[in-house]
Structure 1
Amino acid sequence: MNTIKSLYPYLKPYKWLALFAPLLMVIEVLADLLQPTIMQHIIDYGIANNNQTYVITRSILMLMLALIGLAAGIVCAILSTKAAVNFSTDIRKSLFEKIENLSNSNRDKLGTGHLITVITNDVTSVQNALNMTLKVLVRGPLLFAGSIVIVLLTARSLFPIIVVVVPILFLCIWFVITKAGKLFKKVQQSVDRVNTKVQENLSGMRVVKAYVRESYEINQFKEANSSLTRANMSAVQLISLLMPVILFVVNIGMVATLWLGGLQVEAGKIEAGVILAFINYLTIILNGLMSSSMVLMQITRAFPSAERIDSVLKTKIDIPPANSAAQINRLKGDLSFQNVTYSYSKNGENVLKDISFTARHGETIGIIGSTGSGKSTLAKLISRLYDPDGGEIFVDGKNLTDYDVKELRSSIGFIPQKATLFTGTIDMNIRMGKDHASSSEIEDAADFACATEFIEKLPERYEYPLTRGATNLSGGQKQRLSIARAFVRKPAILVIDDATSALDAVSEAQVLKHLKEEFADATVIIIASKISSLLHADHIIVMDEGKIAEQGTHEELLRYRSLYYDIYLAQGGKEVLPSE
């Protein structure tokens, strides 16, 4: 019930559509309920008395009622569909906005496959449930109740058959609906696993092929798919049992009607038309119960989906997208880490341990270390993609949490290890760094990132369309566009997370040269695996197992003859003499 209350605001703008649709369905139901009674009168009073005028006038009345019911049903379908589709569209929009504002840790907990299932399958399930509710839920109970009342008034002698048949039908429907809810929840969980497996394989297709793991991944998908198949089969088989059982019960009722009704016709207690009308009403009762049960099963199936939607919408964002902090005019870029720790698993195993350092605006800080030493995690904390578990990070003397996160990020340029580009043009992708950048700013940023040389050779140059994942560019070309996207922002703090690894030595040297010339006032954090990328840094931090092992200038670190020195030699550096 709480879930329904949470989603009601999305239906509120379309409440008039949602109200008029059932009202029109009432008109259709009334037209349907009158048909058997009119047919009974035609048989008992028209045909029995050979009154052709009566037969014709009542037949015209039946036709008019059928047309009225048809028109009401069509308009009801249009209104209910419009309400349901707009309702789901607004929910999907809110879900996407929520997902966009979730922190990285929120997304890690929820899972990509789960979020995809929620915004697609779950929203569709809720939409279908609402659509059927507006079109059918009113129809079913009204057909059922109306038929019961008419039979009680016009064929009371046959009413005991209804008293026996209806409870049996109710028990069958209740049993199936109760069991179906649990089964459909398992179906949605299985869909999650299938979506997750597909998403992982599509994003990691190159790795799968490179390591010839196609057979293994196919078998893994088969397991997830088989689990979905079993869950679906259990749910569908249970629902499939309902129709034959209900038809069997109703057919028994019809046989009883013909036997009991025949005896009463023979005794002169009722007319033959009453039996025909009763059988029609028995069929209508069946249709009413079946349509209601189908809606209830759809609702039962939608409840787990609605709960999952509500869970995502109510997820507390670890890092709120906005707060009441004062606007940032322009950051200087002074950066300070004070005893910062961080753990992804939150089990006490920290990726970063007691990290402290200071970077002044205009300085270039180099960070190097072995794989898994926490370099990239440190870069993510600067942009508040994650918040530290312990310690504090300050920018211009203020804690990061005191800034509006969107304002803060607009003053930071972040170039990740893996270049992520989006479907659209090159211009659009670079302009993501600065919406209102001029053409000259776009071209300058591309030039500084050494991207101009390949852009100029493309047919449409900056309007060249990129495919999904920019698969029509090389790794180095994608990396240069990623660098240009950060450069065009001209940020106060620029974080480069091993982003030059895909560039050749000449291009990397040019990018670093432009970096020093064009961003002299910015605080630059360069995370690199190659010492050659850090030679111009004012200060170098050496990370090891989440801690700062050493720090100093290139020359100072070489003189220590410790971890940095070993990396230097391993990368082909010359032996440093004690006097050097």
Structure 2
Amino acid sequence: MHAVLKLSKYLKPYKHFAVLAPILMILEVAMDLVQPTIMQKIIDDGIVMNNTLYIVGMFIVMIACAIIGWLGGAGCNFFSSKAAVNFAADIRADLYETITYFSNSNKDKFTLGKLITNLTNDVEMLQRALNMLLKVFVRGPFMFIGAVLVVFFTARDLFPILFFVVPVLIICLYVFIKLSITLFRKVQEAIDGVNTRVQENLSGIRVIKAFNRMRHQVKQFTGVNEELTKRNMTADQVIAALMPITQFVVNIGIVLALMLGVVKVEAGANEIGVIVAFINYLMMIMNGLMSSSNVLIQIARAIPSAERVVVVLEEQPDITNAENPVKKEILGDVNFEHVSFSYNKQVEPVLKDISFEAKAGSTVGIIGMTGSGKSTLIKLLARLMDVDEGTIYIDGFPIQQYDIETLRNAMAFAPQKATLFSTTIEENLKYGKSDATKEEIKEALVASNAIEFVEKLDKKEQHELTQGATNLSGGQKQRLAMSRALIRKPKILVLDDTTSAVDSITEKMIQKNMKELKGSTKFIVSSKISSIQHANLILVLEDGRIVAKGTHEELLKTSEHYREIVATQVEKGGILHE
């Protein structure tokens, strides 16, 4: 219940809708409860007494009650839907915002599949539960209580039958609802599995096709899909068993009512209309309990969803601001002092005792074998992760003391795997600077040499990218990602192997433009000597350590490791641009 109470705050802005809906539903229930009594009057006082005028009058009253009840039901439906939809929208918005501020470790803790389920299926389940709660759950108990009271006052001789029917129905409901909570928690876990598998398969579809593993992936998906089907079937079968059992109990009550009623009619204690009304009220009691049970089952399904949503909402981001963060303008001096970092604290660190200094406006080249820690090092610069040991200083202040927004606004990243969004090229570039002018956009495209292919497109900067920018080549995506970083004119610019998918001529033009870029401290991660040889400082990483550092000329003289890299690349046809 903690989760439910935690989420109740999202209903407060719409409490007027949440109050109006039940009131209107009570009106509908009241009109429904009147109808069997009117029917009893029509039978006993109209038909039996052959009073046509009375029958017509009561029939008009019945129609009026039906219209009033319909208006109450329609109003309840409108206001309950309005409250439930807005309630779910606000939760979804907060969930998305929370997830957006998660660090890498926060995301890894939940997995993408589970987070997608939280934003879609779980929130939808909560919306449906609230909608039913405001409509059906009000209707069920009021109909049940109202029918019991009417029977007590109008057919007291038949009232003892309820002492058998009602307790049995309530026990059945309790057992089925308890089972439902456990079963639907397992269903949600199975949905996580399906979403995770779909997300992995769609993001890796090219690899799957390249290795001709489509059948293998289909087989894997079939496994998780069958598990979801199995759990859904079990849950639905348990719920399906509730209706026949309750119907059987009510039918026994109807038989008892007819048996006892006939005796009473023969003795002159009751009239036929009373028996007819009692059977109607007995059906109302059953319907009231059944509708209440449906809501309770829906709530049982929503409780696991509420728990999962609250866990995400209560998750605290690993990366947070200091109490009085530094918000001064960043110039770009960077100093790593004995920095170590590990993704998994139980294994050997990925970075070990990293120390170097980069002056504002200088260029730092980072080279090393795959897995040497190059990309991890630059992620620490923007506090995407926090160091385990040591300190990173920017302009003399420890990086943890900076306001995160100030820090990241002063930086720009162009990753090796370019992430572009399904909108226009212009909007993708404005992701780097929202108020960028046409001239700034063109300047950034020229700097990354992306202008070469953008100008050939029919709509140029207004060209729409597909999801994942699959309508561009790898090199084109890298150049647009670089343009997005350059348009920001950052104080610290990070290029993470951003020329790995471009040809040597384009790379040479990009390097020329990079040299002309003033005012930025540049970190260039590359596996190619040609991309970093003009850097003011080159860091050579191996197994998470700096094994050599200096300029290109210095390293050729002092580092055997660096000379081996150079020799290997020259041997393989690599050309060092002078």
TM range (shorter): over 0.9
How is 1:106-505 mapped onto 2 (pairs within 5 angstroms)?
106-320=106-320, 324-329=324-329, 331-505=330-504
Aligned pair in 2 of structure 1 residues 200, 322: CA closer, same or farther (>3 Å)? farther
- Going from structure 1 to structure 2, the CA distance change for 1:323 and 1:83 (only over 3 Å counts) comes to farther
CA displacement at 1:574 relative to structure 2: 10
CA shift at 1:396, angstroms? 0.4
Deviations 1:493-518 (A, max 9, x none): 11111111011101111111111112
Q: Is the 8 A contact 2:322 2:401 kept in 1?
A: no
Q: Find the residue that maps to 2:335 and give its secondary structure.
A: strand
Listed one character per residue, the Cα deviations across residues 435-486 of structure 1 (whole Å, up to 9, x for unaligned) are 1111111101100100111111001111111111111111111110000001
Distance 1:346 1:35 in 2: 70
1:241-276 per-position Cα deviation (integer Å, ceiling 9, x unaligned): 001111111111111111121122112111111110
TM (normalized to structure 2)? Answer: 0.97
Shift of 1:490: 0.8
Question: CA–CA distance in 1 between the matches of 2:119 and 2:209?
Answer: 30
Deviations 1:361-386 (A, max 9, x none): 12111111111111101111111111
Secondary structure of the residue aligned to 2:348 is: coil
Q: Is the 8 A contact 1:101 1:320 kept in 2?
A: no
Q: CA deviation at 1:349?
A: 2.6
Q: Equivalents in 1 of 2:203, 2:328: separation in Å?
A: 37
Is the partner of 2:356 in helix, strand or coil? strand
The one-letter code of the counterpart of 1:230 is: K
Q: Secondary structure at the match of 2:412?
A: strand
Aligned mates of 1:229, 1:574 — CA distance in 2: 54
Counterpart position of 2:576: none
Which of residues 522, 531, 534 is equivalent to 1:533? 531
Q: Secondary structure at the match of 2:570?
A: coil
Deviation at 1:323, TM superposition (A): 6.4
Separation (CA, whole Å) in 2 of partners of 1:550 and 1:567: 12
The SS at the match of 2:212 is coil
1:323–1:404 CA contact under 8 A, matched in 2: no
Shift of 1:561: 5.0
- CA distance in 1 between partners of 2:263 and 2:323 (Å): 80
Conservation of the 8 A alpha-carbon contact between 1:321 and 1:406: no
Tell me the residue number matched to 1:75.
Answer: 75
Q: Cα–Cα, structure 1 residues 101 and 213, in superposed 2: closer, same or farther, change >3 Å?
A: same
- Does the 8 Å contact 2:321/2:401 carry over to 1? no
Give the Cα separation in 2 of the matches to 1:561 and 1:109: 41
* Residue 558 of structure 1: how far off its partner (Å): 2.3
Contact 1:322 1:406 in 2 (8 A): no
The separation in 1 between residues aligned to 2:345 and 2:279, in whole angstroms, is 67
Which residue of 556, 559, 570 maps to 2:557?
Answer: 559
Name the aligned partner's letter for residue 440 of structure 2: E
Match of 1:51 in 2: 51
Deviation of 1:326 (Å)? 4.0
Of the structure 1 ranges 343-352 and 461-470, higher mean CA displacement relative to structure 2 is found in 343-352
Return 5+ residue gaps in structure 2 as ranges: 574-578
Task: Find the aligned partners of 1:216 and 1:321 in 2 and give their Cα distance.
Answer: 46
Kindly tell me: are residues 322 and 399 of structure 1, through their superposed partners in 2, closer, same or farther at Cα, counting changes over 3 Å? closer
Per-residue deviation, 1:555: 2.4
In 1, Cα distance between the equivalents of 2:222 and 2:343?
A: 31
Task: Specify the code of the residue in structure 2 equivalent to 1:287.
Answer: N
Q: What's the counterpart of residue 524 of structure 1?
A: 522
Q: Distance in 1 between matches of 2:5 and 2:171?
A: 29
Output aligned runs, 1:10-49, within 5 Å. Answer: 10-49=10-49
Q: Give, in angstroms, the shift of residue 413 of structure 1.
A: 1.3
Q: Deviations over 1:395-436 (max 9, x none)?
A: 000111111111111111111110010011111111111111
Q: 1:574 to 1:466 in 2, by over 3 A?
A: closer
Q: CA–CA distance in 2 between the matches of 1:495 and 1:367?
A: 11
Q: Is the 8 A contact 2:339 2:392 kept in 1?
A: yes
- Give the Cα separation in 2 of the matches to 1:310 and 1:6: 7
Task: Quote how far apart the aligned CAs of 1:345 are.
Answer: 2.1
Greater CA drift, 97-106 or 237-246: 97-106
Give the C-alpha shift of residue 328 in structure 1.
3.1
* Letter matched to residue 345 of structure 2: K
Q: Distance in 2 between matches of 1:322 and 1:271?
A: 80
Q: Which range moves more in the overlay, 438-447 or 549-558?
A: 549-558
Matching residue of 1:568: 566
Q: Secondary structure at the match of 1:407?
A: helix
1:66-99 CA-to-partner distances (Å, cap 9, x unmatched) read 1100010001100100110011111111111111
- How much does 1:292 deviate? 0.2
1:119-150: CA deviation from partner (whole Å, max 9, x where unpaired): 00000000000000001111100100111111
Q: 1:322 to 1:71 in 2, by over 3 A?
A: farther
Amino acid at match of 2:38: I
Q: Return the offset for 1:348.
A: 3.6
> What is the CA distance between 1:104 and its match in structure 2?
1.8
Q: What SS is found at the alignment partner of 2:471?
A: coil
Instruction: Give the match for residue 578 of structure 1.
Output: none
Aligned residues of 1:35 and 1:62 also touching (Cα < 8 A) = yes
What is the aligned partner in structure 2 of residue 549 from structure 1?
547
Counterpart code for 1:5: L
Identity %: 52
SS in 2 for 1:159: coil
Greater shift, 243-252 or 282-291, is seen at 243-252
Q: Is 1:515 paired with 2:518?
A: no
Is the 1:325–1:403 contact (alpha carbons within 8 Å) kept by the matching residues of 2? yes
TM-score of the aligned structures, taking structure 1 as reference length = 0.97
In the alignment, the residues of structure 1 paired with residue 350 and residue 500 of structure 2 have an alpha-carbon distance, to the nearest angstrom, of: 23
Q: Match of 2:63?
A: 63
Matched residue of 1:270: which SS? coil
SS at match of 1:320: coil
- Given that 2:421 and 2:428 are in contact with CA atoms closer than 8 Å, whether structure 1 keeps it comes out as yes
Contact 1:383/1:414 (8 A) holds in 2: no
Q: What is the root-mean-square deviation of aligned Cα atoms in Å?
A: 1.4
Q: How far is the alpha carbon of 1:540 from its aligned partner?
A: 1.1
Alignment-mate amino acid for residue 565 of structure 1: R
Higher mean alpha-carbon deviation, 173-182 vs 39-48, is at 39-48
Q: Distance in 2 between matches of 1:337 and 1:296?
A: 58
How many residues end up aligned between the 2 structures?
A: 573
Q: Which moved more, 1:118-127 or 1:258-267?
A: 258-267
- Name the SS for the 1:555 alignment partner: helix
Partners of 1:362 and 1:326 lie apart in 2 by 21
> Structure 1 322/461 Cα, relative in aligned 2: closer, same or farther at 3 Å?
farther
